[in-house]
Copies of this chain bind each other. A is one copy, B any other.
C-alpha cells in the first residue's frame, strides 16, 4: 500500500484498528505498538505522522462519533411521518442504543475524572447539547404531542441529568437503584408535560447506564 497516497484511507485504518483495541483491551492498556502490530504494514512513525498521540486518536474517534450523531439527528429532524415526541424518543434511543457510541463512552469515561475535561463537558451539556433536544420538544409543543410550558428547561435537564446524574460513575447505584432514579426522572419530565420516558425507554436507559458499571 503506497503510504500517504490517500492519507484519509490510512487515517481510517488507524482509527478502526485503534478503536477495536480500545474496546477489547481498554484505552489505558493500549499502546501505539499494539496499533502497529494490528495494522502490520505501518511503522510507529507513520502513525505519529497522522496522530500526535493516543489521546489524539481517541479525540478523533469522539469527534467522528459526534458527527455521526449529528447526521442521525438531521435524518430524524427531516422526517415528516412522526410527531415531535416520537422524534425525541427516537433520538434518545439512538443515543443510548448505539453500541459503538456506548463502547466509546465507556473508553472515555475515565477522562471525566480530569477536572478540565469535566468542566468543558459541563459547558457543552449546558450550552450546546440542549440545542439537540429543544427543537424536537418545540415541534412536540406545536403538534400537541409534548404539552409542556418548559421546552428549554426540559432540554437543559435532559442534557445535564442524562450525562451526569444518571452516571453511576458520579452517583453510584445498583441496577434497582438506577431504575428508581430513571423512573424518578421519567415522573418529573411527565409532570412538566414531556412524557418521553415510557416503560420501554426506561428499560433501555437502565441497561445502557448499567453497562458503564462493567
Contacts and interface: CB of A to CB of B under 8 A. Distances in A.
A191 interface: yes
Nearest to A182: B153
Q: Which of the listed residues A188, A189, A191 has the most CB atoms from chain B within 10 Å of its own CB?
A: A188
Name the prevailing secondary structure of the A interface residues: helix
A122 B126 contact: no
B170 A153 contact: no
B118 A150 contact: no
Given A119-B119, A171-B156, A187 B192 contact: yes
Integer count of this chain's copies in the complex: 2
Interface in A144-170: 149-150, 153, 156-157, 160, 164-165, 170
Interface residues of A, number: 26
Given A165-B156, A192-B188, A118 B126 contact: no
B180 A187 contact: no
A180 B153 contact: yes
Contacts of A126: 170-171
A116 interface: yes
A170 B116 CA distance: 16
B150 A184 contact: yes
27 contacts: A115-B115, A115-B118, A118-B119, A118-B122, A119-B119, A122-B122, A122-B170, A126-B170, A126-B171, A149-B180, A150-B180, A150-B184, A150-B187, A153-B180, A153-B181, A156-B171, A157-B165, A160-B165, A184-B192, A187-B191, A187-B192, A188-B189, A188-B191, A188-B192, A190-B191, A191-B191, A191-B192
